[in-house]
Structure 1
């Protein structure tokens, strides 16, 4: 079965819709809910907290890039279903002259995104595969110029690219295509402390439209090769520049690591 066939099959769990379910959204179907509930049970409920903390990390990273680093071009890859507090909402609140391009392979996600974003020329949604950096850069709208730094987001998506497809090589190609001074934001599920649970979750995702491959910290660090890590480095997502009033997570272990790297 091809990627496109699986994306349009509502009987096949869809990773974007499963993630929406973890976040408490409404864009999911019975197959998505059943698979997500299995993962929730395996993780003792902590996957929902991890998804929320990952979302908060994304927002803080975008706010940091737009507000403190002067970034005005944002490219969000594997964006998933639109939900509250999207990249464009955060970026435009900090910098009304920002430009945001979303990219997702799922035609239903792309159609939904275009419908929600219609009318704002600063935001665009492309249907494309993040595994093809050159094609995505060729598709960028003319106004999304590459004469200034870009904030490229790979948030909670690289663990859906198996090793045989060379995710590190894909990230390296994006790094090469970005102008100097750009930033790459990455979050990724880490397998170090929960290997059995991660393997069991991988079995659940094996029946979904994309495989799931949690990786050890050392493998995640390699995604930042050639980049200058911004403080505090690669850390559990709730520890990346948290808000002063942020409450600690309930989970003893936060199995999602996040970091921001700058292209010299």
Structure 2
């Protein structure tokens, strides 16, 4: 008898259940991220690529992704509790995991609405299966590089844009190449959002570890999306036209940390984040 919880059998079932199937031989950035977090939605190619990134980062990538999730949680709670935001648009949402945006926001207020957006069919398959049933939480398959299409898809899924929205771009802009004009994308989103909206961004910085970041970019070049760590000055420009919330654009663990937050295990955290408001 085949054991359903056997890893090989679980991977076969995952591949068969995705709409139209998907390529499990090419590393997938969403599944690699899931591996860093200790999840189960990944395949051998994803694990091999992720382990190479872990090696290049001397193990600190796992701490970075944990800090990224913690930053996301603090930012969502801040916006829902202190700024009264009730509509969240999470771009490049990735595979569902623990501490998702809707779980955090709905814990603050039951009238929150959350729309997740991702163009990855792997993410879409998992998200639609797991989020079905709660009208307050929707998923739209769209590409964050097309702001007008993203906003139209969010509205079609019931996210009202007649009130302030929290636009979340957490750990996704470093998968947008320079030639795709990420600063222009942010300007376009700014014009599409109503006054009083907020933007949340986290992004890998190349400043502390330039050689390691270049090597990691090489690993991701063989995955389904490229990876571009950027200097802090360029990351800060993504917030142009917004009013930054204190403490500004900082290392993730320095953005409004919890009183009982543990210290970093390494000397630096090469990921910056910030929250800002559209006037």
Fold shared, TM-score > 0.5 on shorter chain: yes
Matched, 1:168 2:183: yes
CA deviations over 1:148-173 (Å, ceiling 9, x no partner): 11000000000001100001111111
**Which of 231, 239, 245 in structure 1 is aligned with 2:254?**
239
Number of the residue aligned with 1:63: 77
Matched, 1:93 2:107: yes
Matched, 1:254 2:264: no
Matched, 1:197 2:212: yes
**Which of 174, 191, 198 in structure 2 is aligned with 1:159?**
174
Q: What RMSD, in angstroms, separates the aligned Cα atoms of the two structures?
A: 1.0
TM-score (normalised: structure 1): 0.96
Query: How many Å apart are 1:126 and its aligned residue?
Result: 0.7
Aligned residues: 258
CA deviations over 1:4-60 (Å, ceiling 9, x no partner): xxx931110000100010111110000000000000000100000000000100010
Determine if contact 2:90/2:114 at 8 Å carries over to the other structure.
yes
Number of the residue aligned with 1:4: none
Matched, 1:127 2:141: yes
Structure 1 stretches of at least 4 aligned residues deviating more than 4 Å after TM superposition: none
Determine if contact 2:155/2:161 at 8 Å carries over to the other structure.
no
**CA radius of gyration, larger in:** 2
Query: How many Å apart are 1:141 and its aligned residue?
Result: 3.8
Determine the C-alpha separation between the residues in 2 that align with 1:105 and 1:140.
13
Determine the C-alpha separation between the residues in 2 that align with 1:64 and 1:132.
28
Determine the C-alpha separation between the residues in 1 that align with 2:109 and 2:57.
38
Number of the residue aligned with 1:25: 39
Number of the residue aligned with 1:221: 236
Query: How many Å apart are 1:193 and its aligned residue?
Result: 1.2
Determine the C-alpha separation between the residues in 1 that align with 2:43 and 2:208.
31
Q: What SS does structure 2 have at the residue aligned with 1:108?
A: helix
